[in-house]
Structures are given as structure tokens and as C-alpha cells.
Chain A
Amino acid sequence: MLWETIRLAFIAIVRNKLRSFLTVLGVVIGVAAVIAMVTVGQGSSAQVSANVASLGTNVLILRPGKRMMGPGTRDTSPAFTLRDVEALEELPVIRAVSPNTSASQTVVFGNANATTSITGTTAAYLTVANWVLAGGRAFTPAEERQGAAVCILGETVRQKLFGAADPLGQTVRIKSISCLVVGLLEAKGAGSFGQDQDDLVLMPIRTVQRRLVGNQDVSGMSVALQDGVSATRGIRDIGALLRERRRIGPADEENFSVTDMKEIASMLTSINTVLAGLLSSVAAVSLLVGGIGIMNIMLVSVTERTREIGIRLAVGATAGQVLTQFLVEAVVLSVLGGMIGIALGLALALVASRYMLIPFTPDPLVVLMAFGFSAVVGVIFGYFPARRAARLDPIEALRHQ
């Protein structure tokens, strides 16, 4: 009997294809939005966690400039210098320090060229930022001291310039420098903000300072702490040293910042969570609106099919059977809508993940919940019209034109 009812519901729905589609559109959009939001949200959370893992343990980022700047305030804080780097290396809490200074430049090899970020740094950068060499070698201390014209290519740059060819030992041109490729980085994928982390070229920092930017500034440092040293202690010791070196009085505000990457990562995760929550509640509202749409059409349907209800009652359908029929119809409608919405939502999430370079991680539990929720919407909003149908008087219903 229930199968029969479900079959009948399908027939009734298929009879009015366009109307059925428009009816469930609200549910489709609601469910698709929930699924897309949650899936993308989870993907980007997974991405953040992966990045935190790839950062290695205990990494602090140092930048010149005040922590909080109001709009319109100009930051006049001095940059770091290589002497700051040397001083930091002496701190017992620190395992490695890598300075960096970046410039955007076009790298040319033969007919191919790629505009990328040239990061001037030291061999320590590989350790601190958790890079693995896919081939070749890091800079030697001599190359670093002399500011030699050598470089290590990120995966994206390597692909753009060399494709299938072997870049090691080849010379690329950056501005006026002919630069020997000594190493290749292994791919890391997308970063927490969806940026391509592999779109870079590493050079010794002195080379960048002298030949690309023309000053002695170090625009930032990454610091790896010794194992067992807490981020709090690291921040305190580094802060004390830099305050002294930059001659900041005890009462004055610091003109540099020390940031724990883990802190940023957890902040990103919580932003993700809040955003996903907000968007999901918007989606929940659209599900509610979708439910009202279903109720509206079911009421119209009950009125339109009054005679049919009369016939069914005359041949012996009980009120409960008529109620079930219309309730099942509403539930089948909203579940169909839910299924279309799930498919659409997953497709949207897939496209968005590709575009944002984050992993596509559909969660079966979320899919199941969206499915269940759409069925519940059908039951709740289908009940009132179904009850109206069940309460019709057979004589009146049969007379209805």
C-alpha cells in the first residue's frame, strides 16, 4: 500500500513537471547552498590543518611595523637587517632563522617567461618553511655571502619555463641577472588563502638586495624554535632582543610583530567555522522558504484535485489513506528536491574547490543530514494541506467542479 502511494505520488509529480520543479526549487537551492557551503568550508579547514602540519613545529613570523594600525596611519618602522638575523641566531631558544625579501619579477628561459615572486633568503628557509628539494641542492654559505646568481625554482615556475625539460644547470634570466638553476622545490599546493605556494623562485638574499631591490632591508624573518620551547617563550625572548636592538623604551610600543603561525591557522579555522555557520543559517532560511513553497503548491493541488479526493473517498479510502497520499506526495517532492540539491551542491563545491585550490572533501554525514532535513520539510509543510484533503466531505468533494 505504501509503495502504491509512493508510485501514485511520483505519477502526480511527473504529470506536472514544470510546476513540480518550480515547487521544489526552494528546497533545491536551500539544500544545494547548505551542501556547497559546508563542503567548501570543510575543504578549506582541511587545507588550513594541512598547512599547519606543513609549517612544521614552532614557527614564528617576524615583521617590521606595529601590530595594529588604524586607517591612514603611515608605518615608518625600519626594516630588519641581516645583522638582526645574525643576532637572533645567537638566541638559545632559536633553532634557525631565515630572512626574506621579495620582489616581483619576470623570469625568462628561452621563449618562455613567468612573472613570479622572487624570494631572497638563505638555505635555512628550507628548514623553517618546511620545503623539500625535489632535485639539486640548497645555496652554499659561500653563495649566500657573495650574493651569487643562483636560484631554486618552485614547481609552478619550473612547469611554466621548462615543462618536461630538466632545468638543473640551465641559466634563466631575471631582470639583468643570468641566474644558474641549482635546485628544485617539491610542490606544496595551495595555501590557507587559496594562493599558489609553488609560484616562487628562491635566491640568496644578498643577490636580491643588491641586484633586484637595491637596498639592505630584510622585510621579514621566519624563525624555527628549538624543540620543547613554547611559542610564548620564543615570542618573549625574541621580543626582548629586538626591542633592545631597535632601541624601544620599556614604555614604547613595539614597531615589529612576532606571530605564531599556529595562532593564525587556528584563527583562520575559526573564521571558516563562523562563515560556514552564517551561510548555513542563510541556507536554512531558504529551506524554510522552500517548505512554504511546497505547502502552497500542495494546497493548490488539494483544491484542484478535490474531485479526485471525492472519488477516492467514495470507493473506500479512509481519511488516513488520503492524508498519507498527500503527505507522501509532499515528502517525495521535497526529497526529490533535496536529492537534486545535494547533487547541485556537491557539483558547486567541486568547482569551487578546484577554483580555490582546496581539497574536495564531501562529508557523507552532511549529505545524509541534508537529505533527512528535506524529508522533514516535506512532512512539516505537507501535513497541513494533507489534513485539509483528508477532512473533505465526500459529497461536497464529488460535487466540486
Chain B
Amino acid sequence: MTEGPLIALEGIGRSYGAGEAEVRALERVDLTIRRGEFVAIMGPSGSGKSTAMNIIGCLDRPTSGRYLFEGTDVSGLDRDGRALLRRHFLGFVFQGFNLLPRTTALENVELPLIYKGLPRAERIEKAQRALARVGLAGREHHDPSQLSGGQQQRVAIARALAGEPAVILADEPTGNLDSQRSHEIMQLMQALNREGITIVMVTHEEDIAAYAGRLVVFTDGHLTRDEPVRARA
């Protein structure tokens, strides 16, 4: 493990189309995230915050610039290379929960461990531990349809946790939840961060961003603000 930053975006650009029709979603973005940080990314729609998130999550690749993950340039990785990086180092939490329907909570949490090639007994043990960590012990065999929105998002967080990733990427994790559930989820995220887990979260709600330790704002494809969060709830 290097002592350098976990994530380093250097002059990252992402454009779609070519020539006259070229759309620049991101331009010359520099962003460094250290191990253990809790970063909230904000910005209006079309500001490039989701594009940045996708690049950090290795779901997308930049058209220019360098992306260093733990000091290694990963911007040139192919599809499968990025899949392996996601498998071993990244955990995702989405706005729409994105759980597999008609699949129990436990099986959902096991999913990344299957691709990691863990034996069944170990998978079940880790998945159970992750579910217990998010407060869902005893709900292992519930279907997503039998769980409330907040519980479903907890399952998704457990899934992201189970693979013991270097960083959890949360894309509007509270977007589909009412305010009370939102705050419960954020308290959970904050607790996880205090245990040492690095979190990068996209949101458009100020009070949600307030749970983070650092706020990054995108406007028109540029990183326009980067400051510590003053008031922590």
C-alpha cells in the first residue's frame, strides 16, 4: 500500500461525440481523494457530477487525462480490467437500490463475493456479517419486495460492504427515500466512514451532503468548489 492518495484524477476530460457535435461532460478535472475520506459531490443536473462518479467507479473511462487508483494509472484499462478493479476495490450504492428482484437479501449481498470466487460457506458468513452491520440481522431471507425502501438501501450498502472494498461509491443513495429514512441511511454511512471506510457520494441535497467531511461541487463540467464541510449533523 502506498502512502499516496487513494484516488487521483489528473486533468480528466470526458466528451461524447466528435467534431461539431462534441459534448464535453467533463473538462480538465483534478481531484484527489485520500483513504478514509467522506466526499460529497454536488452540482446541478448536467454539471458532470454523474460522469465524474462513473469515471471514479470505473464504469466509464475518461477521454483525456489520467486516473490513478492507489498510484496505478487505470485510465487505459479495458472492459474486463475495469470489471476486475470494481470487483476487488469498489462497492456501489445506487439511488434505485438495484437489488436483484425475487432474490433474498442474503443472496443479493453474496453477489459480489460470487464473482470474487469465494467458497459458499465463506460467502454466507461474510454476507451475514455485512447484513448485521447495517442492522438487518434476521432479514437474510427476505425478498426485496418484502423490505421497505430504507431496508432495501441497507441491503445495497451491505452488498457494497461485503466485498471489503477500498471505497464505496454512492450515487444519490437517499434519492428514493423519505427524509427520516434518508437521515438513518446517512447516519449509517457516517458510522461506516468513522470505521475507516472511504466514501464518495453524489447528492443534490444540502442536508445530505452535510454528513460528509468534504464537499466537491461541479458546474458545467468543471470542478468549481472543493471545501471541508463545516457543520456536521
On A, residues with C-beta under 8 Å from B are: 1, 4, 15, 307-308, 310-321, 394-395, 398
Contact = CB atoms under 8 A, between A and B. Distances in A.
Given A315-B163, A316-B115, A317-B115, A398 B88 contact: no
A315 B102 contact: no
A185 B111 CA distance: 73
Contact of B83 (A1, A319, A398): A319
Chief secondary structure at chain A's binding surface: helix
Interface of B: 54, 57, 59-60, 79-80, 83-84, 86-88, 90, 92, 94, 98-100, 102, 111-112, 114-117, 159, 163
Given A1-B117, A394-B59, A316 B98 contact: no
Given A316-B87, A316-B88, 4 more contacts: A311-B98, A314-B98, A315-B87, A319-B80
21 contacts: A1-B114, A1-B117, A311-B98, A312-B111, A313-B83, A315-B86, A315-B87, A315-B112, A315-B159, A315-B163, A316-B83, A316-B86, A316-B87, A316-B90, A316-B163, A317-B83, A318-B80, A318-B84, A321-B115, A395-B59, A395-B60
Given A1-B117, A319-B83, A395-B60, A314 B92 contact: yes
Contacts of B54: 395
B117 A311 contact: no
- Tell which of A316, A317, A318, A320 has the most Cβ of chain B within 10 Å: A316
Residue of B60, B84, B100, B114 most packed against chain A (CB within 10 A)? B114
Contact of A398 (B80, B98, B111, B163): B98
Contacts of A321: 115
B115 A314 contact: no
A312 B57 CA distance: 14
A314 B80 contact: no
Given A4-B114, A311-B111, A398-B94, A316 B100 contact: no
Contacts of A318: 79-80, 83-84
A1 B87 CA distance: 15
A307 B80 CA distance: 19
Contacts of A1: 114, 117
B98 A310 contact: yes
Nearest to A321: B115
Nearest to B116: A316
Contacts of A314: 57, 59, 86, 92, 98
B90 to A, nearest CB: 8
A59 to B, nearest CB: 69
Contacts of A319: 79-80, 83
Contacts of B59: 314, 394-395, 398
Contacts of B87: 315-317
B155 to A, nearest CB: 12
Given A307-B98, A310-B98, A398-B98, A316 B117 contact: no
B100 A311 contact: yes
A320 B79 CA distance: 11
A4 B84 CA distance: 19
A308 B100 contact: yes
A1 B117 CA distance: 7
A1 B113 CA distance: 11
B38 to A, nearest CB: 21
B80 A320 contact: yes
Contacts of A315: 86-87, 92, 111-112, 115, 159, 163
A339 B56 CA distance: 48
Contacts of A313: 83
A314 B171 CA distance: 13
